[in-house]
């Protein structure tokens, strides 16, 4: 990997990582942690949806699995929180692989893949809401015991840095995927699966690897959510809200780009806060803005904010040369 | 768990009655899919909007839910026409993935606009006939749900006749089969698309009017219906109108029986498992090779 690819990542990391050094207001730090969790979930979606072109409408299946796995392993089996966190990621990747195996084997793509992922997330939500091990509709509380070895910290700033570290790790992973053989094959499958197969790309294997990675990353976001809020229930874990968030951020920021999901998540939630301040605490008003923004983005900026920026830079570059 | 035959029979009949209204919701979805080849994710939000419209007409003007069909069906036809013509069509540049995202955006927009306007309270309409029952042999059937069943079947037949007998119907079927050919013989494809979308929304308005005497409305209510409607559409064959009716009745019965045997919280799981199974096991058989 070249320095050129890593420079924007480093810049973003320093920019966000410095905020807790200057701002100590809880609202700001809460906003940062939450936005970074969304960004992480969105980065997971981006691997499968952005690079692989497989639009999932049910990434809640992975987010929720990561969250529940981390919470259940800690509370019911007394496993160390850090280990539970890692196992949560593994569980998300496994669920990803299974859903992928079932749907890609059946040749589902486009709208049908979107529908089947949506249905899987819904099945998980109903099961989690009814079963005893997940605490049913009452949800699961992780016991408050603030110690670093429990993945609990008294300072919100530490959570910002941990969330940021995970986001940066996935940024580097995505940048590596973009330049790897696997990434090239994934993009080839997105652009024209038939042609990719004719050239000897094992499309099923490539898509399975992508969905497992994607599921693992989004599960990390879910597990982090549990560590931060110390609570999870079926509506949070497997609700449509997170499926939509995971998809919106990359689409707005730029699907199939390294920084797209992060840029999208920050833009969306920044905009959400602004709308809430302007319109008062009307419920749902921020989501009205999200919906409108999604339509506008698809209509006028199909490559998201990153795409717009690239086009702008190309135009300026041309103007300067002429 | 064993129930007496009378209870099971009642569950089945109740399921059929719910299923007919499900079918009506699915009808709009399957029609739009059959012609435009798009999955309309805004369908559920539009149903919620229609149900709120019924509620507003009733609470503000005292209009009976059944009579609300008269103003709402044309109104929602116009709304659907406008949405396809001026939002979905231009914004999606004809790309399937974009259409999916635009209708998702619309659904988020409509659902949350309703949430902002009406808050998350659940509302119902009280009518004189809401709890009337009819005795049919050994079964006691809810009057408004029986009306819903009859009206849903009637609308399905009406839609079927419109598509097979009228010029507009012929134009719609022509566009569904061969877009380019249809435009070459002088059919305005953009107009036909919008008319189809409008018809789908009109079906929703009728479904909302039939639902409201016995059901409730809140900003999220459409979500439950839309997933069921997707299942019906996939089960009955994407784009098939008789398929939507049969699929709807079947799903209604499945839900009712699952509710009886598994309890309310797990009742809907049967539907989603059927949905996933159908998608996984018979993808090409049920919705063509183009998928």
How far from the centroid of its chain's Cα atoms is residue B122's Cα?
Answer: 20
pLDDT attached to residue A109: 80
pLDDT band at A273 (very low <50, low <70, confident <90, very high): confident
Is the pLDDT confidence value at B289 over 60? Answer: no
Mean pLDDT computed over A28-41: 95
- The answer to whether the Cβ–Cβ distance between B100 and A55 falls below 8 Å is yes
pLDDT band at B288 (very low <50, low <70, confident <90, very high): very low
Pairing of strands B139-142, A231-232: unpaired
Task: Report the domain count for chain A.
Answer: 1
pLDDT band at A319 (very low <50, low <70, confident <90, very high): low
Does some domain include residue A6? Answer: no
CATH of the domain at B106: 1.10.3470
Closest to B285 (Cα-Cα) out of B221, B237, B252: B237
Q: Which of A20-24, A170-174, A311-315 reaches the highest mean pLDDT?
A: A170-174
Percent of chain B residues past pLDDT 70, beyond the cut: 95
The dihedral region occupied by A195, where left means phi > 0, alpha psi between -120 and 50, and beta the remainder, is alpha
pLDDT attached to residue A317: 78
Task: Report the domain count for chain B.
Answer: 1
Is the pLDDT confidence value at B284 over 50? Answer: no
Is the pLDDT confidence value at B35 over 60? Answer: yes
pLDDT attached to residue B256: 87
Mean pLDDT computed over A32-48: 96
Residue with tokens 């859903």: A99
Is residue A37 a contact partner of residue A221, using CB atoms and an 8 Å limit? yes
Does some domain include residue A165? Answer: yes
Residue with tokens 């299946």: A61
Is residue B16 a contact partner of residue B78, using CB atoms and an 8 Å limit? no
Mean pLDDT computed over A125-130: 90
pLDDT attached to residue A272: 86
Any A CB within 8 A of B134 CB: no
- Structural domain span for residue B178: 5-287
For residue A50, what is the nearest residue in chain B, using CA coordinates? B97
pLDDT attached to residue A320: 52
Radius of gyration from C-alpha coordinates of chain B: 19
Q: How far is A135 from chain B (nearest CA, A)?
A: 14
pLDDT attached to residue A69: 96
Q: Which of A196-200, A277-281, B125-129, B133-137 reaches the highest mean pLDDT?
A: A196-200
pLDDT attached to residue B71: 95
Is the pLDDT confidence value at A321 over 50? Answer: no
Contact list, B269 vs chain A (CB under 8 Å): 123, 126-127
Mean pLDDT of chain A: 91
Does some domain include residue A11? Answer: no
Any A CB within 8 A of B291 CB: yes
pLDDT attached to residue A48: 96
Is residue A74 a contact partner of residue A81, using CB atoms and an 8 Å limit? yes
CATH of the domain at A167: 1.10.3470
Contact list, B285 vs chain A (CB under 8 Å): none
Is the pLDDT confidence value at B114 over 80? Answer: yes
**CA atoms in the 13 A half-sphere facing the CB of A199:** 11
- In whole angstroms, give the CA distance from residue A80 to residue A86: 10
SS3 A131: coil
- Hey, what are A9's tokens? 């990542």
Is residue B103 a contact partner of residue B226, using CB atoms and an 8 Å limit? no
pLDDT attached to residue B283: 57
pLDDT attached to residue B194: 94
- The answer to whether the Cβ–Cβ distance between A292 and B105 falls below 8 Å is yes
Contact list, A247 vs chain B (CB under 8 Å): 104
Does some domain include residue A271? Answer: yes
Mean pLDDT computed over A73-89: 94
Write out pLDDT tens, residues B78-100. 999 999 999 998 888 877 778 88
Q: In b/e form, how buried is each residue of A212-227, taking b as 16+ CB within 10 angstroms?
A: bbbbbbbbbbbbbbbb
Is the pLDDT confidence value at A2 over 70? Answer: no
Q: Is B167 exposed, middle or buried, given 0-12, 13-18 or 19+ CB atoms closer than 10 A?
A: exposed
Contact list, B110 vs chain A (CB under 8 Å): 291
pLDDT attached to residue A202: 93
Alpha-carbon separation of residue B139 from A77, A83, A159, B7, B251 (angstroms): 51, 58, 61, 9, 21
pLDDT band at A250 (very low <50, low <70, confident <90, very high): very high
Is the pLDDT confidence value at B46 over 60? Answer: yes
Q: Which residues contact B197 (CB under 8 A, 6 or more apart)?
A: B32, B36, B40, B80, B81, B83, B84, B88
pLDDT band at B291 (very low <50, low <70, confident <90, very high): very low
For residue B273, what is the nearest residue in chain A, using CA coordinates? A123
Mean pLDDT computed over B155-164: 91
Is the pLDDT confidence value at A102 over 50? Answer: yes
- Structural domain span for residue A31: 16-321
Q: Which of A112, A118, A294 has the CB atom closest to B105's CB atom?
A: A294
pLDDT attached to residue B263: 75
pLDDT attached to residue A283: 81
- In whole angstroms, give the CA distance from residue A226 to residue B278: 34
Alpha-carbon separation of residue B262 from A3, B12, B19 (angstroms): 58, 15, 19
pLDDT attached to residue B137: 75
- Residue A135 DSSP class: T
Lowest-confidence region among A47-51, A111-115, B2-6, B178-182: B2-6
Contact list, A53 vs chain B (CB under 8 Å): 97
Does some domain include residue A10? Answer: no
């Amino acid at each position: 990997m070249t320095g050129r690819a890593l420079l924007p990542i480093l810049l973003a990391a320093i920019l966000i990582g410095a905020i807790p050094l200057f701002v100590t207001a809880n609202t700001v730090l809460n906003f940062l942690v939450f936005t970074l969790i969304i960004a992480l979930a969105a980065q997971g979606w981006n691997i499968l949806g952005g690079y692989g072109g497989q639009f999932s409408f049910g990434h809640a299946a992975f987010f929720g699995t990561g969250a529940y796995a981390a919470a259940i392993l800690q509370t019911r089996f007394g496993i160390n929180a850090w280990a539970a966190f890692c196992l949560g990621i593994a569980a998300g990747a496994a669920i990803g692989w299974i859903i992928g195996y079932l749907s890609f084997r059946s040749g589902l793509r486009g709208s049908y893949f979107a529908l089947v992922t949506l249905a899987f997330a819904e099945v998980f939500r109903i099961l989690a809401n009814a079963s005893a091990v997940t605490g049913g509709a009452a949800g699961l509380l992780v016991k408050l015991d603030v110690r670093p070895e429990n993945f609990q910290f008294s300072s919100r700033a530490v959570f910002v840095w941990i969330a940021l570290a995970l986001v940066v790790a996935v940024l580097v992973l995505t940048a590596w995927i973009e330049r790897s053989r696997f990434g090239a094959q994934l993009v080839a499958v997105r652009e024209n699966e038939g042609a990719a197969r004719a050239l000897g790309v094992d499309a099923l294997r490539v898509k399975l690897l992508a969905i497992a990675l994607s599921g693992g990353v989004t599960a990390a976001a879910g597990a982090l959510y549990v560590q931060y809020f110390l609570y999870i229930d079926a509506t949070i874990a497997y609700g449509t809200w997170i499926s939509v968030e995971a998809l919106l951020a990359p689409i707005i920021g730029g699907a199939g780009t390294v920084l797209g999901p992060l840029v999208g998540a920050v833009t969306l939630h920044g905009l959400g806060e602004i709308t809430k301040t302007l319109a008062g605490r009307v419920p749902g008003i921020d989501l009205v803005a999200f919906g409108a923004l999604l339509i506008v983005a698809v209509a006028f900026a199909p490559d998201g904010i990153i795409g717009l920026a690239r086009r702008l830079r190309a135009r300026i570059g041309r103007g300067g040369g002429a | 768990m064993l129930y007496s035959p009378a209870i099971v029979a009642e569950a089945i009949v109740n399921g059929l009655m719910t299923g007919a209204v499900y079918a009506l919701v699915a009808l709009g979805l399957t029609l739009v899919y059959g012609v435009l080849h798009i999955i309309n994710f805004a369908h559920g939000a539009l149903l919620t909007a229609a149900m709120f419209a019924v509620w507003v007409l009733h609470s503000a003007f005292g209009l009976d839910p059944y009579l609300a069909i008269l103003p709402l069906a044309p109104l929602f036809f116009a709304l659907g026409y406008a949405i396809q013509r001026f939002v979905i069509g231009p914004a999606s540049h004809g790309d399937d993935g974009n259409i999916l995202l635009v209708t998702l955006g619309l659904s988020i927009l409509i659902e949350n606009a309703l949430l902002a306007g009406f808050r998350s309270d659940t509302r119902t309409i009280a009518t004189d006939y809401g709890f009337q029952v009819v005795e049919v042999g050994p079964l006691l059937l809810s009057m408004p749900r029986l009306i819903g069943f009859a009206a849903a079947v009637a609308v399905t037949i009406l839609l079927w006749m419109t598509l097979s007998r009228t010029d507009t119907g012929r134009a719609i079927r022509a566009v569904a089969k061969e877009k380019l050919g249809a435009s070459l013989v002088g059919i305005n494809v953009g107009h036909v698309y919008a008319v189809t979308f409008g018809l789908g929304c009109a079906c929703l308005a009728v479904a909302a009017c039939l639902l409201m005497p016995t059901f409730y409305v809140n900003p999220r209510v459409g979500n439950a219906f839309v997933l069921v409607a997707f299942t019906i559409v996939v089960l009955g064959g994407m784009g098939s109108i008789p398929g939507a009716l049969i699929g709807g009745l079947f799903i209604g019965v499945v839900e009712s029986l699952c509710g009886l045997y598994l309890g309310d919280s797990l009742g809907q799981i049967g539907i989603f498992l059927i949905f996933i199974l159908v998608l996984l096991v018979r993808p090409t058989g049920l919705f063509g090779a183009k998928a």
